[in-house]
Chain A
Amino acid sequence: MNKKHSLYAVIYALLLGLVCAAMLTGVDRFTADRKAANAQAEEVRNVLGVLGVPFDAAARSAELLEVYEANVTTLTRGEREFYVYDHPEEGTLNATRFDGPGLWGPVEGFICLRDDMNTIYAITFYRHEETPGLGGDISTPGFQDQFRGKVISTPAGSGVAIVGDGADGPNEVDAISGATMTSDKVEAMLNETIDDILASGEGS
């Protein structure tokens, strides 16, 4: 067939597309198990991190999973799933996932409560697309560590507050300067989760 013919180009494109697709499918099949294991390890790493379970940062997927299974149990309260760990010094810790819209994209994280289900042990944000250097600082220790020891409900009402200045209340933390939108959205998603946690506590 003449190379200049349109039909030739169509058949050529079709065959090339098939070959490329076959290569991609092959590689995807070949790597699927390992990719799934990596994704699971990442998840486990996040859970272990927020619960303060000691683990080797350079550990491989299988080892992480072992540490996880030896230390962490899951518990469903209401509709919400909690990851529970008996910390040798801090007592029983309960972590649960939260998510919500950030300024640029979805934000996901864990909130971890102490045994009283009121005091915050830790909060982590493991996924976000906020502006680096501004809203992106939600995933830095500087922002996350502020939540340690804060409470999710006070006699005056429930929820945490991310405030612009003078965060001195038992449920207040400092917002990130220049990232008001992110701070507001994070506050909203945390409080939605907190309401949910409190409701699930009452139900059980």
Chain B
Amino acid sequence: MATNEPIACTTCALPGGPCGGKGIATLKDGVWAQNPISIQILGICSALAVTNRLENSLVMGVALIFVCVGSNLFVSLLRNVTPRRIRMIAEVAIIATFVIVFDQILKAYYWEMSKQLGPYVGLIITNCIVMGRAEAFALQNRPVVSIVDGVANGIGYAIVLALIGFFRELVGAGTVFGHVVMPEWYVPNQLAILAPGAFVALGFLIALFNALSGANEEDEGTQP
């Protein structure tokens, strides 16, 4: 526990300026280059569980953006006064607070969606992305750039979820946002709605992202 090294974002740890001159790089990293799902393969449990409909995916994405921004901001604001020994408990407390706040708002203003998402909103507390960003980024960075990081990672998560949700709803039910878009002869493929369909969709998406961004290519020589 003695190490003070940032876990992932070594390039973003430089101070100076509201975003330390790293705002755009941070945004790009979260949304694309270091996308939490397609590149880092974090938080895929919820990405698989709630993506059977596009609408569910989007609400879940919004939830993660909200929680990531809130927790990153608080962790960053408190980073100089938080005792190292209890910092993780403090992070969990902050994250849990934001998750419950979002869950309560959903229950009050979007009851139907709250019923559909069931326990998965609450489970954002255990989502590795949120705590990962708090540990890896917010603890080393100023509040403003931490917010940028939270937004970026939330958007990165939301985009991937939306894509999977779009694909699964289209193939599995022939609809988009509940509106029928497929021609009448189309027989909905139930597999896409079930859990295996989520794995298949996520696999194709990660392959596509890797092909587009050329990520992991440089590793090929060193892989055992």
Contacts and interface: CB of A to CB of B under 8 A. Distances in A.
A189 to B, nearest CB: 24
Contacts, number: 51
B2 interface: no
Interface string A1-37: 0011000110011001100100110011011001100
B112 to A, nearest CB: 9
A24 B107 CA distance: 14
B73 to A, nearest CB: 13
Contact of B108 (A17, A24, A34, A42): A34
B111 A12 contact: no
A9 B83 contact: yes
Interface in A90-108: none
Contacts of B93: 16-17, 20
A12 B83 contact: yes
Given A13-B89, A23-B101, A35 B83 contact: no
A16 B94 CA distance: 8
B107 A3 contact: no
Contacts of A31: 104-105, 107-109
Contacts of B100: 24, 27
Given A24-B100, A24-B101, A27-B100, A9 B86 contact: yes
Task: Give the bracket for the number of chain A residues in contact with chain B.
Answer: 20 to 34
B97 A13 contact: no
Given A9-B83, A27-B101, A38 B108 contact: yes
- Would you call the interface of chain A mostly helix, strand, loop, or mixed? helix
B172 to A, nearest CB: 16
B90 interface: yes
B179 interface: no
Nearest to B83: A9
Interface string B41-83: 0000000000000000000000000000000000000100111
Given A16-B93, A17-B93, A9 B107 contact: no
A17 B92 CA distance: 11
A3 B97 CA distance: 24
B104 A35 contact: yes
7 contacts: A9-B85, A13-B89, A23-B97, A24-B101, A27-B101, A38-B111, A41-B111
Given A12-B86, A16-B94, A38-B107, 17 more contacts: A9-B86, A12-B90, A13-B90, A16-B93, A17-B93, A20-B94, A20-B96, A20-B97, A23-B101, A24-B97, A28-B104, A31-B105, A34-B108, A34-B109, A38-B108, A38-B111, A42-B111
